């Protein structure tokens, strides 16, 4: 019990090298976001109706798109786990789920900040906002479920089912503005906005995409290390030597 | 549970999920999930239109806006092209509120023939544009509020 962690990892230099590579990666993606934001701010004229509030588009829309993409990774990881029963797919889905939860919450928060001055309200129960709130509840429920179930195989199976359910909600959220009447405007894309705004939107979407990939990757690595140390602790508890 | 039994269970679960999804997409939910009524739909309710909480959506009739900043009193009319409903509100309008823009108002339609609004919300489009010379954005909003169903 006194020396649980110490003898496990023999390659003492590897984690430090990886750590600095991770830090450099983080600085690079953050610099890209800053550059894309600066580009958006410097190149776009004020919108004819909402003036400079249009610039919230450069964070809200990329956050929403990449939240959807993170859900696609959750879906892929969950389906692959149920098919192959390999733990790595479960860990990938769980890592993407955390990022999806953060980006969905960010989308709602930024949308709310945008809605107050433009629509006049922070929130309204229109189909787009309601379905997005359901999406957030499902993915937070997914993360809660994982923390409640201790047995790894069962945890993986149950969360894969919830992950697939959550991802199936994504097309509903996306199409809600076409299928039903909403306060939210239809989907924005480079083709619906003035050419002066299109590149600001594209570049910020790409910058957010890199942040999303970086976060999923970092979280996936951490999840693998957690499992390795869990397994080592189990082995030691069973009386083995390593 | 046997491996075969588990496979069957998973197939049933998958079918149930996909079935629910298909129902949501193609089924009757679209008809029941109405965020706001158009003026024509509100009028078509006849006697049931009055004094019940409802959302009404449409375009602000150009030239109908009367805003008294001292009394914080706002009057305007909403149209969907077919019918027009006069609206009264005792609150400041949102920043983007103006002639011709899309709005959704919450409140009750009174027998006096005026919609008493507790909340005025602006419904704008996804077409962000820098203003051009002599542009008339009002046209665009008509298409936004005359219903988004196919």
Mean pLDDT lowest among A6-20, A28-42, B6-20, B70-84 = A6-20
pLDDT confidence of residue B2: 66
Asked if the model's pLDDT at residue A77 lies above 90, the reply is yes
The helix (H) or strand (E) run that includes residue B115 is strand B115-123
Nearest to A4 by CA among A235, A233, A241: A233
Residue A126 at interface with chain B, using a CB cutoff of 8 Å: yes
Residue partners of A214: CB distance under 8 A and separation at least 6: A25, A26, A29
Would you give the DSSP letter of residue B26?
Answer: H
Residue partners of B62: CB distance under 8 A and separation at least 6: B99, B100, B138
Nearest to A46 by CA among A224, A202, A197, A227: A197
- Nearest residue, CB atoms, A48 vs list B17, B119, B131: B131
pLDDT confidence of residue B87: 97
Question: What's the CA dihedral at A67, A72, A77, A81 to 10 degrees?
Answer: 130
Which pair of structure tokens corresponds to residue A89? 């797919």
Regions of chain B with pLDDT less than 70: 1-3, 21, 23-33, 131-150
Which pair of structure tokens corresponds to residue B18? 């996909």
Task: Give the mean pLDDT of chain A.
Answer: 89
Angle at A156 between CA A219 and CA A239, to 5 degrees: 85
Residue A8 resides in a domain: no
Residue A197 at interface with chain B, using a CB cutoff of 8 Å: yes
Q: What is the CATH number of domain B35-145?
A: 2.40.50.140
Buried b (16+ CB within 10 A) or exposed e, B78-108: bbbeeebbebbbeeebbbbbbebbbbbbbbb
Q: Which residues of B touch A119 (CB under 8 A)?
A: 94, 96, 121-124
Question: B128, B136, B138: which to substitute to probe chain A, counting the most A Cβ within 10 Å?
Answer: B128
pLDDT confidence of residue B31: 52
Mean pLDDT lowest among A5-9, A61-65, A145-149, A166-170 = A5-9
Q: Which residues of B touch A120 (CB under 8 A)?
A: 93-95, 97, 119-122
Residue A84 at interface with chain B, using a CB cutoff of 8 Å: no
Residue A169: helix, strand or coil by DSSP?
helix
Q: From CA A117, how far away is CA A121, in angstroms rounded?
A: 7
Nearest to A187 by CA among A70, A55, A67, A57: A57
Structural domain tally of chain A? Answer: 1
Q: Do A120 and B10 touch (CB under 8 A)?
A: no
How much is the ipTM here? 0.79
Domain range enclosing A145: 24-44+53-237
- The pLDDT confidence band at residue A234, using thresholds 50, 70 and 90, is confident
- Other Cβ atoms closer than 10 A to A202: 16
Nearest residue on chain B to A55, alpha-carbon basis = B128
Q: From CA A98, how far away is CA A76, in angstroms rounded?
A: 15
Q: Do B128 and A47 touch (CB under 8 A)?
A: yes
Residue A163 resides in a domain: yes
The CA distances from residue B109 to A239, B74, B114, in Å, are 76, 16, 6
Residue partners of B112: CB distance under 8 A and separation at least 6: none
Q: From CA A203, how far away is CA A41, in angstroms rounded?
A: 12
pLDDT tens digits, one per residue of A157-193: 999 999 999 999 999 999 999 888 999 999 888 888 9
Which pair of structure tokens corresponds to residue A90? 């479960």
Please answer whether residues A121 and B121 qualify as being in contact, where contact means their C-beta atoms are separated by less than 8 angstroms.
Answer: yes
> What's the maximum distance between 2 C-alpha atoms anywhere in chain B?
76
Residue A108 resides in a domain: yes
pLDDT confidence of residue A139: 94
Q: From CA A62, how far away is CA A107, in angstroms rounded?
A: 9
Q: Do B128 and A186 touch (CB under 8 A)?
A: no
Percentage, residues of chain A above pLDDT 90: 69
CA distance A241 to chain B (A): 35
pLDDT confidence of residue A20: 75
């Amino acid at each position: 019990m006194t020396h649980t962690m110490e003898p496990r990892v023999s390659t003492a230099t590897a984690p430090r090298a990886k750590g600095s590579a991770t830090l450099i990666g983080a600085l690079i993606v953050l610099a890209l976001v800053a550059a894309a934001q600066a580009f958006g701010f410097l190149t776009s004229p004020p919108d004819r109706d909402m003036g400079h509030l249009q610039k919230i588009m450069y964070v809200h829309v990329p956050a929403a798109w990449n939240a959807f993409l993170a859900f696609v990774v959750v879906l892929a990881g969950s389906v692959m786990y149920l098919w192959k029963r390999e733990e790595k797919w479960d860990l990938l889905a769980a890592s993407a789920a955390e990022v999806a939860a953060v980006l969905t919450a960010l989308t709602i928060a930024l949308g709310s900040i945008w809605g107050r001055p433009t629509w006049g309200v922070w929130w309204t129960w229109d189909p787009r906002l309601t379905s997005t709130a359901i999406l957030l509840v499902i993915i937070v429920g997914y993360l809660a479920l994982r923390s409640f179930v201790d047995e790894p195989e069962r945890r993986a199976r149950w969360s894969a089912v919830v992950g697939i359910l959550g991802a199936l909600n994504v097309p509903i959220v996306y199409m809600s503005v076409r299928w039903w009447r909403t306060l939210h405007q239809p989907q924005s894309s480079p083709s619906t906005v003035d050419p002066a705004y299109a590149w600001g939107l594209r570049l910020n979407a790409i910058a957010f995409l890199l942040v999303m990939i970086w976060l999923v990757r970092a979280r996936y690595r951490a999840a693998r290390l957690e499992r390795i140390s869990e397994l080592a602790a189990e082995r030691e508890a069973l009386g083995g030597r390593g | 549970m046997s491996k075969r039994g588990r496979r069957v269970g998973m197939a049933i679960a998958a079918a149930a999920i996909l079935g629910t999804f298909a129902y949501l997409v193609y089924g009757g939910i679209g008809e029941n999930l109405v965020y706001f009524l158009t003026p024509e739909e509100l009028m078509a309710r006849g006697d049931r239109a009055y004094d019940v909480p409802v959302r009404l959506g449409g375009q602000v009739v150009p030239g109908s806006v009367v805003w008294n900043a001292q009394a914080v009193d706002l009057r305007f009319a909403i149209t969907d092209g077919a019918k027009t409903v006069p609206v009264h509100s005792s609150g400041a309008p949102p920043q983007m509120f103006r002639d011709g823009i899309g709005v959704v108002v919450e409140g009750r339609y009174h027998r006096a023939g005026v919609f008493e609004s507790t909340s005025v919300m602006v419904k704008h489009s996804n077409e962000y544009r820098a203003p051009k010379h002599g542009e008339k954005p009002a046209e665009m909003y008509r298409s936004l509020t005359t219903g988004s169903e196919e």
